[in-house]
Structure 1
Amino acid sequence: MRARLALLVAAVSVLIVIAFLVPLALLLRTAAEDRATVRATADAQSLAPVVGAADAETVRLTVEQLAAESARPVSVFLPDGTVLGSNATRTPAVELAERGQSLTAETADGREVVIAVQGRTDGTTVIRTVVPRAEMTAGVGRAWLVLALLGALLVLIALAVADRLARTLVRPISELSEVSHRLANAELDARVSPSGPVELREVGGALNHLAGRIQELLVHEREQVADLSHRLRTPLTALRLEAESLRDPQDAARVIDAVDGLERAVTGLIRQARWRTPTDGTVIADAATTVADRVAFWSVLAEETGRAVDLDLAPGPVPVAVAADELAAALDALLGNVFAHTPDGTPFAVRLRAVGDQVVLTVTDEGPGITADLVRRGASQAGSTGLGLDIARRAAQASGGRLALGERTGGGAEVELWLGRA
């Protein structure tokens, strides 16, 4: 924008300079020609009294002296055909002047000035002088150079003023852009200092109002989530008490373990809702340990539903740039989809391997398969909430990875969770 404004001002300034300086330059040239012609005419007229009354010798001496002083050819044509002074032929202008008419005519060498002198007894005498082109244009080139420099100076001054004015426009726009990017990066305390024209100040004020409103809505949302999470404490406590009252110790331990996992998830949700801050990339979890723990948890349910579990883990530790509870939630979402969308007895496999600077967690099953359009928050083709794959996707993206869906060779679904290594 700044460059375009400068270009626009430069174009307008050049057009204005040309519109004024070109006619002025032509006027200067015309004035120089007229000034030289007037001098030559005055010199020629100064000879008229001598030519009209003196003898031929006196006229000759006077003409030669004037020619030497003016550095112009001066000729006097007497009625008897004698030419005194500079040798010259009778031109049409001279022949016309012999009839009593003084005039000025253009020639190839310059401008011809002829003056008819009457009063001699032998007829009309003609004084002729020629103004050379060099004399007519003397000083014109220097004047044109001065005008060109003046025009260039005016254009530079206009550009400097335009650049300063453009900065007063560009600086507020740049600040608006910077603050909008900061807001996009979750810096909700970023604000604009309204400046510049009235319109830009209004936009800055509107952006500040929008940022404040977004901050208020997020705070309200987090408080609502935290309040809902706190309300879950009571049924969780009741569920724990019911689990502890089970007679079978194994069933009680399994249910209590599930309640503990749910309580950890609720605690993490409360903490995330109340004190959510941008990640600094220092969160590290051991993927091998987390995956082993969650597969062990789901293996109990797999045994009850007749599902074979194949676990293949890379030798640990396998550090990844994601929190352990987020990785556990992502894997729970993937395994939960297996149990929810495949019939009982469908085997599944979990594999963890390192690939370069990333770690790949793969979950496959021999069910009906899954399509890529399910990786969208709230989208589902099986009656679920559609949030499971979105949770896994966000966990992968938070670590610098991605979620990939595909078809397993031989049928079934294959979900790959690419995680950035820590």
Structure 2
Amino acid sequence: MNPSTHEAGALDGNSVYRRITLHLIPFIFICYLFNYLDRVNVGFAKLQMLDALKFSETVYGLGAGIFFIGYVLCGLPSNLALTRFGPRRWIGVMMIAWGTLSTCLLFVTTPTQFYALRLLTGAAEAGFFPGIVLYLSQWYPSHRRGRIMALFMSAIPVSGLLGGPFSGWILNHFAVGQGGLAAWQWMFLIQGLPTVVLGLLAFMLLCDKVSHARWLSPQERQLVASEIAADERARPQVEKTSIGAILTLPFIWVLGFIYFCIQAGVYAINFWLPSIIKGLGFSDALVIGWISAIPYLLAGVFMVLVGRSADLRNERRWHLVVPMLMGAGGLIIAANFAGTPAIAILGLTIATMGALTGLPMFWPLPTAFLSASVAAGGLALINSIGQMAGFLSPYIVGWIKDQTGSTDVALYSLAGLTVVGAIVALRVSRNTATATEAAEVA
């Protein structure tokens, strides 16, 4: 053993990864917070935008969902571009592009313009989330990813926690239409421009790989590199790495279906929570914002606790399945007690806690199973399959509400889909995953 290896082995791994976390996660967290806020703030804009522009619920649902058509179409090539140009450059470019397009939503006057901007915004940010998942897998070995993914993805509930009251305040504060803009237009402007600034900062604050991290000592970089290399050797190896070969791996499609089921509930909550709360009898935008913050606050706490538990117990399946079943149960409660606001909000809270926690608990599965040769394409494909729910879920909810005057049937349907996803997830284990990959290689 050479001296440098011996010295690296003497390092405290926990302190090294703590330094990495303190250096990377706060900035990535803020970026993802604005990523999610820019994606779903149309749910609050809807409270005023529909009346101002004379849009129907179906037009809103289609506009909210068409974002994910661009997202799905560009997810795989965008993630491959990230591996070619490097995370620092590509993440910065994506953020500047989608921040600009999201801001431009303030100029929308027709359904066609609404659809076009949402489509382009989805295409612009398509590679961000799978790129970050891939990026983190190059810094953390698999046994440390549960809590890291929970910390990173807690930006989702935090965006709801802060974004709900903030969006409600904007809609109230700018209600008189300062500067010739309506309140919903101010919301897109105020929440879109910071993303452009963060994109510029990404060029300075991120580094492409562990070996470029000058804020780590050579011994610390060696320790991380050796653990990542050992992690890679333990994964099933797939020799064929073309896009066509990745598309033929059944395990990727199974994981994509599970992720689709999780996201169907998540996006129903994100895009329709303000409207559902308004339908319970609350009319003031700021009050709706504060009430919508409650589910996200509890979801953020629950997400971090479950992520920590999953790592400590080195158990993934039940830490994924139980939150998914919670999400389904919460949607059923919310639909069944729509006439009782307190119980309905409790149901929405349980649904939000379960659905959002299912997201970070899902991603350690594919990152543990996919080798580096297929990770970029495989993670992007899984994410794209799941994000198709972002198109179908809001549109179906809007269509059902136009037809029935209620969201109850849609919530029951999404709850049923989540249960199916949980049953499939329950069957996923390292043994079945390895067997599936090995069969494809053979």
Taking structure 2 as the reference length, what is the TM-score of the superposition?
A: 0.20
Q: Which has the higher strand share?
A: 1
Taking structure 1 as the reference length, what is the TM-score of the superposition?
A: 0.21
Q: Which has the higher helix share?
A: 2
Q: Whose RCO is larger (CA < 8 A, sep 6+)?
A: 2
